[in-house]
């Protein structure tokens, strides 16, 4: 079963080297590209109480496993200040925003407001859904990400047919995402992170 995590819950998580068993950094913030619905990577803090920001960043491709307790990387070289993600990962403020967008279905129903990004765990982490604060749907709901989504910075337009995969709990949403992906994008389901 796919285990899912809220991206925001990763803040403060240790980054641990598989080569040494040492915690080499911790997550300061999650950098996300809303236009392409892609997890780009992470800005980092040093470990420890008085530790501050690191200039090094961690690209999503360099993460070998994201779990509920840690982000795993092969070794120290995973965190770098010459990341491939020149741009948004360097300057997170430039990344397009999705949190705060109003969620509207393609048949014109307002569903709520985006409050977070949901990630899959495991070896190849990727964004699979958005957490939506939805008074109409009795609180928090999870909406699967699809290529057909459009995001403006004010509105996130979701295909009407995806609304049947909306779930109120993360555990149930994991199964719904798998099902939805098999129906809509069988190719990308095999290649998460593939840049079409």
Binding positions for another protein, 127-186, rule CB under 8 A: none
Q: Give Cβ neighbours of residue 21 (< 8 Å, ≥ 6 apart).
A: none
Cα–Cα distance for residue pair 62/140, rounded to 1 Å: 31
**H-run or E-run covering 141:** strand 139-144
Q: Which is nearer to another protein, 69 or 81 (CB)?
A: 69
Candidate list 4, 8, 45, 64; residue touching another protein; CB under 8 A: 64
Q: Give Cβ neighbours of residue 178 (< 8 Å, ≥ 6 apart).
A: 2, 189
8 lies in the binding site for another protein (CB under 8 A): no
- Dihedral of CA atoms 89, 68, 192, 184 in degrees, nearest 10, equals -120
Instruction: Give how many residues touch another protein by CB under 8 A.
Output: 21
61 lies in the binding site for another protein (CB under 8 A): no
Which one of the spans 15-23, 91-99, 111-119, 145-153 is the region binding another protein (CB under 8 A)? Answer: 15-23
Cα–Cα distance for residue pair 31/90, rounded to 1 Å: 9
Candidate list 6, 35, 67, 80; residue touching another protein; CB under 8 A: 67
| Residue 51 Cβ vs another protein, minimum distance, rounded to whole Å | 14
Give the pairing of strands 110-120 and 127-134.
Answer: antiparallel
65 lies in the binding site for another protein (CB under 8 A): yes
Candidate list 51, 55, 68, 91; residue touching another protein; CB under 8 A: 68
| Residue 170 Cβ vs another protein, minimum distance, rounded to whole Å | 15
Which residues partner with 142 through β-bridges?
131, 167
Q: Which is nearer to another protein, 102 or 124 (CB)?
A: 124
Cα–Cα distances in angstroms (integers) from residue 85 to residues 21, 101, 129, 176, 184, in the given order: 26, 25, 22, 31, 28
49 lies in the binding site for another protein (CB under 8 A): no
Q: Which is nearer to another protein, 72 or 157 (CB)?
A: 72
Candidate list 2, 4, 6, 23; residue touching another protein; CB under 8 A: 23
């Amino acid at each position: 079963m796919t285990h899912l995590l809220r991206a925001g819950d990763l803040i403060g998580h240790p980054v641990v080297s598989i080569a040494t068993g040492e915690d080499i950094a911790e997550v300061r913030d999650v950098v996300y590209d809303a236009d392409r619905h892609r997890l780009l990577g992470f800005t980092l803090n040093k470990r420890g109480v008085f530790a501050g920001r690191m200039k090094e960043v961690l690209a999503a491709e360099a993460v070998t496993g994201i779990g509920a307790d840690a982000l795993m990387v092969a070794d120290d070289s995973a965190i770098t200040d010459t990341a491939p993600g020149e741009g948004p990962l360097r300057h997170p403020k430039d990344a397009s925003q999705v949190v705060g967008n109003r969620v509207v279905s393609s048949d014109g129903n307002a569903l709520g407001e985006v409050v977070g990004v949901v990630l899959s765990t495991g070896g190849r982490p990727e964004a699979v859904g958005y957490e939506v604060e939805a008074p109409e749907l009795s609180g928090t709901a999870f909406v699967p990400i699809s290529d057909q989504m459009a995001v403006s910075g004010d509105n996130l337009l979701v295909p009407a047919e995806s609304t049947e995969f909306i779930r109120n709990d993360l555990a149930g949403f994991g199964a719904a995402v798998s099902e939805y992906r098999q129906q809509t994008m069988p190719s990308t389901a095999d290649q998460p992170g593939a840049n079409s």
